[in-house]
């Protein structure tokens, strides 16, 4: 996150919030994140100058214009992002460091010439998050306003990251209390504050599933009878955590800021044979194609590669038994009961591999993005230079009365199987494609070497990839004379011992799409069975 506008105690202006930050989520590497953020920073400088604002910087390096409100600052930042050629959500989101303690006094937040209660400030935040792409707020409430923190977390804790910096001051006991009472959902870990690295890791690792509720030991009250028979109820089961694959999702962005997820505990049993209520299960929706990986062993626990699959990653603890369960012919008034069992705890990684019917592969600048844009509803970046595409894009192409999902895989270069050029990030998505559409730039001096470059990288990464059905197309045929095209087509077809197609900018794509659709129907008949992991 890059600090871009300062306010509060960090700047001599009217803004109450301390820091306004941009988060370059569209960057694939740190250097790219810095470049993107610098472009936005310089565009913001130009916008501020045009509006007559000062471009002096505050204590933390962001601009400190004398603007009136938080929303005006956010609007200026969004304007700068769009002026730099980027889009909200795809390339940038926003983050705030409020430092609310600086304008909190006697239970009131004195903010933008208003006096707000905790409820009022929480509603203000809800309005901000609804209207702006804010994914993180740090120190949103005063550390002295614990009830305000609880209310804020209940309202927004499932939507955005709520960082308790001043609230927790990297103290394990304060962090533990926050987890137990549902206050904030993130913390800044500062080893220089907490003391030792061991304690630091302890602070990071506190999370678990719901515990079972304790059983109850109680007795019926009968006149002249000391113990009128046991009637202690059982404790409720702790909540489970379940992942569900959702065909309507396509990113794991929601989990970027949810590092710890805890299900609810079961309630303890009560007298009169009343069982405690079970803890509510936490159901987490993820895109189809998500792999859940055990962080310790690095093994794939489950591959949610179909819609509506469910996987219980941790199970809540069993509820304890009330003393009614221990009544016998020899012990009619048992005092014994059992405690609820602790919930399971697991650290997992989530990895998303794009699922598609057809994967478009080829070297950089082969025309893959242009093909996807022409045949589908995808909005991809197109340019006549290599590496225009830096992440896979999905599109849905209509073929007569059916549809096929097509993925534009970023260009594969030499040594991609070793990770060169983010090769591993690109190649992993090809594993999920049923058919490959291999586009080759016909203007390449040697179309066979162009084909082999991509083909060999696939084989070196995973030999199963080259066994997939493949349709080979010479693209950009409008750039060469027909005789030269036919010669290259014949040369490549003889080398591959199979048909090679040709494509120009004005050609109808339906024949190629029909061919792909027919191969899909022949080799991969669609199955409608829904995977049920709970069946034996």
Q: Kindly report, residue by residue over 404-413, the tens digit of the pLDDT.
A: 888 888 766 5
Tell me which of 198, 230, 260 is where a domain ends. 198
Q: Check whether 474 has a pLDDT greater than 90.
A: yes
Do both 85 and 209 map to the same domain?
no
Higher pLDDT, 353 or 262: 262
Q: What is the reported pLDDT for 528?
A: 36
Residue 214 lies in a domain: yes
Higher pLDDT, 387 or 180: 180
Do both 321 and 452 map to the same domain?
no
Distances (CA, A) of 65 to 5, 7, 68: 8, 9, 9
Q: What is the reported pLDDT for 36?
A: 92
Tell me which of 301, 326, 352 is where a domain ends. 352
Residue 534 lies in a domain: no
Q: What is the reported pLDDT for 228?
A: 62
What is the residue range of 315's domain? 201-352
Helices (H), 16-103: 30-50, 70-83
State the average pLDDT over residues 288-311: 85
Q: What is the reported pLDDT for 464?
A: 86
Higher pLDDT, 466 or 395: 466
Do both 137 and 284 map to the same domain?
no
Q: What is the reported pLDDT for 309?
A: 92
Measured CA to CA, the distance from residue 468 to residue 394 in angstroms comes to 19
Q: What is the reported pLDDT for 524?
A: 57
Q: Kindly report, residue by residue over 397-433, the tens digit of the pLDDT.
A: 888 877 788 888 876 655 544 443 333 456 677 877 8
| Dihedral over Cα of 162, 168, 171, 177: its sign | negative
Distances (CA, A) of 499 to 93, 284, 359, 491, 505: 46, 46, 19, 11, 20
- What percent of the chain is predicted at pLDDT more than 70? 81
Residue 26 lies in a domain: yes
Do both 193 and 209 map to the same domain?
no
Do both 313 and 452 map to the same domain?
no
Q: Check whether 149 has a pLDDT greater than 70.
A: yes
Measured CA to CA, the distance from residue 321 to residue 338 in angstroms comes to 5
Residue 517 lies in a domain: yes
pLDDT band for position 253 (cuts 50, 70, 90):
low
Q: CATH number, domain at 190? A: 3.20.20.120
Of residues 77, 86, 66, the one with CA closest to residue 20: 77
Do both 161 and 141 map to the same domain?
yes
Q: What is the reported pLDDT for 415?
A: 53
State the average pLDDT over residues 242-269: 76
Measured CA to CA, the distance from residue 390 to residue 425 in angstroms comes to 10
Q: Kindly report, residue by residue over 17-71, the tens digit of the pLDDT.
A: 989 999 998 888 888 899 999 999 999 999 999 999 888 887 678 888 888 889 9
| Beta-carbon contacts of residue 275 (< 8 Å; ≥ 6 apart) | 233, 234, 235, 236, 269, 319, 322
Q: What is the reported pLDDT for 423?
A: 39
Count of domains observed in the chain: 3
State the average pLDDT over residues 311-316: 86
Give rounded-to-5 percent helix, strand, coil for the chain: 30, 20, 45
Tell me which of 324, 352, 380 is where a domain ends. 352
Higher pLDDT, 138 or 175: 138
Q: Check whether 88 has a pLDDT greater than 90.
A: no
Q: Contact at 8 Å (CB) between 48 and 75? A: no
Q: Using CB atoms within 10 A of its CB, is residue 382 exposed (0-12), middle (13-18) or buried (19+)? A: middle
Higher pLDDT, 84 or 391: 84
Q: Check whether 249 has a pLDDT greater than 70.
A: yes
State the average pLDDT over residues 496-524: 89
Q: What is the reported pLDDT for 275?
A: 85
Higher pLDDT, 189 or 69: 69
Residue 530 lies in a domain: no
pLDDT band for position 525 (cuts 50, 70, 90):
low
Mean pLDDT of the chain: 80
Q: Check whether 113 has a pLDDT greater than 70.
A: yes
Q: Using CB atoms within 10 A of its CB, is residue 472 exposed (0-12), middle (13-18) or buried (19+)? A: buried
Q: What is the reported pLDDT for 223?
A: 60
The DSSP 8-state label assigned to residue 67 in this structure reads: -
pLDDT band for position 187 (cuts 50, 70, 90):
confident
Of residues 241, 276, 240, the one with CA closest to residue 255: 241
State the average pLDDT over residues 342-359: 78
Q: What is the reported pLDDT for 407?
A: 83
- What percent of the chain is predicted at pLDDT more than 90? 26
On the CB side of 278, how many CA atoms lie within 13 Å of its CA? 12
Q: Check whether 527 has a pLDDT greater than 60.
A: no
Q: What is the reported pLDDT for 73?
A: 93
Q: What is the reported pLDDT for 151?
A: 93
Q: Using CB atoms within 10 A of its CB, is residue 511 exposed (0-12), middle (13-18) or buried (19+)? A: exposed
State the average pLDDT over residues 465-489: 93
Do both 277 and 346 map to the same domain?
yes
Q: CATH number, domain at 246? A: 2.70.210.12
- What angle separates helix 70-83 from helix 30-50, to the nearest 10 degrees? 120
Q: What is the reported pLDDT for 357?
A: 84
Q: What is the reported pLDDT for 219?
A: 65
Residue 478 lies in a domain: yes
Measured CA to CA, the distance from residue 84 to residue 39 in angstroms comes to 6
Q: What is the reported pLDDT for 171?
A: 62
pLDDT band for position 83 (cuts 50, 70, 90):
very high
Beta strands in 143-246 (DSSP E): 161-163, 241-246
Q: CATH number, domain at 519? A: 3.40.50.300
Q: Contact at 8 Å (CB) between 3 and 96? A: no
pLDDT band for position 190 (cuts 50, 70, 90):
low
State the average pLDDT over residues 501-516: 92
Do both 346 and 455 map to the same domain?
no
Q: Check whether 191 has a pLDDT greater than 80.
A: no
Do both 117 and 236 map to the same domain?
no
Residue 364 lies in a domain: yes
Do both 400 and 332 map to the same domain?
no
Cβ neighbour number for residue 439 with a 10 Å cutoff: 25
Least confident interval from 198-202, 283-287, 361-365, 393-397: 198-202
Q: What is the reported pLDDT for 258?
A: 63
User: Global pTM?
Assistant: 0.42
Q: What is the reported pLDDT for 417?
A: 40
Q: Check whether 259 has a pLDDT greater than 90.
A: no
Least confident interval from 40-49, 113-122, 345-354, 383-392: 383-392
Higher pLDDT, 419 or 83: 83
Do both 170 and 48 map to the same domain?
yes
Do both 47 and 149 map to the same domain?
yes
Higher pLDDT, 205 or 507: 507
């Amino acid at each position: 996150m890059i600090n871009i506008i300062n306010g509060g105690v960090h700047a001599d202006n009217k803004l109450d919030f301390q820091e306004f930050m941009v988060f370059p989520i569209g960057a694939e590497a740190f250097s790219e994140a810095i470049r993107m953020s610098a472009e936005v920073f310089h565009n913001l400088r130009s916008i501020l100058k045009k509006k007559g604002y000062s471009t002096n910087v505050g204590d933390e390096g962001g601009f400190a214009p004398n603007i009136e409100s938080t929303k005006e600052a956010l609007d200026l930042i969004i304007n700068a992002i769009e002026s730099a050629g980027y889009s909200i959500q795809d390339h940038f989101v926003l983050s705030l460091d409020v430092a609310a303690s600086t304008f909190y006094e006697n239970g009131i937040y004195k903010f933008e010439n208003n006096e707000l209660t905790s409820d009022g400030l929480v509603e203000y935040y809800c309005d901000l998050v609804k209207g702006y792409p804010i994914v993180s707020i740090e120190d949103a409430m005063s550390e002295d306003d614990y009830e305000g923190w609880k209310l804020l977390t209940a309202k927004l804790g499932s939507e955005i990251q709520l960082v308790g910096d001043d609230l927790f001051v990297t103290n394990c006991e304060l962090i533990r209390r926050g987890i137990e009472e549902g206050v904030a959902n993130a913390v800044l870990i500062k080893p220089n504050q907490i003391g030792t690295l061991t304690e630091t890791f302890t602070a990071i690792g506190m999370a678990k599933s719901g515990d079972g509720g304790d059983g109850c030991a109680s007795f019926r009250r009968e006149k002249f009878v000391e113990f009128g028979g046991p009637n202690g109820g059982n404790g409720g089961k702790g909540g489970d955590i379940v992942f569900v694959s959702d065909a309507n999702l396509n990113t794991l962005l929601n989990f970027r800021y949810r590092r710890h997820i805890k299900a609810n505990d079961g309630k303890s049993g009560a007298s009169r044979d009343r069982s405690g209520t079970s803890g509510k299960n936490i159901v987490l929706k993820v895109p189809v194609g998500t792999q859940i990986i055990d962080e310790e062993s690095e093994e794939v626990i489950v591959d949610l590669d179909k819609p509506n699959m469910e996987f219980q990653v941790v199970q809540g603890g069993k509820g304890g038994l009330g003393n009614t369960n221990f009544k016998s012919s020899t012990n009619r008034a048992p005092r014994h009961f059992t405690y609820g069992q602790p919930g399971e705890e697991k650290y997992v990684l989530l990895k998303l591999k794009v699922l598609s019917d057809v994967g478009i592969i080829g070297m950089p600048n082969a025309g893959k993005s242009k093909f996807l844009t022409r045949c589908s509803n995808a909005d991809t970046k197109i340019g006549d230079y290599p590496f225009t595409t830096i992440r896979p894009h999905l599109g849905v192409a209509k073929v007569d009365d059916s549809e096929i999902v097509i993925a534009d895989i970023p260009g594969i270069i030499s040594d991609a199987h070793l990770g060169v050029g983010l090769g591993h990030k690109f190649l992993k998505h090809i594993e999920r494609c049923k058919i490959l559409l291999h586009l080759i730039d016909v203007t390449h001096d040697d179309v066979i070497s162009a084909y082999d470059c991509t083909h060999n990288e696939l084989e070196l990464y995973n030999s199963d990839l080259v066994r997939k059905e493949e349709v080979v197309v010479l693209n950009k045929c409008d750039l060469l004379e027909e005789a030269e095209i036919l010669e290259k087509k014949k040369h490549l077809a003889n080398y591959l011992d199979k048909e090679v197609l040709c494509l120009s900018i004005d050609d109808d794509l339906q024949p190629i799409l029909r061919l792909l659709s027919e191969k899909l129907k022949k080799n991969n008949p669609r199955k409608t069975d829904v995977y049920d992991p709970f069946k034996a």
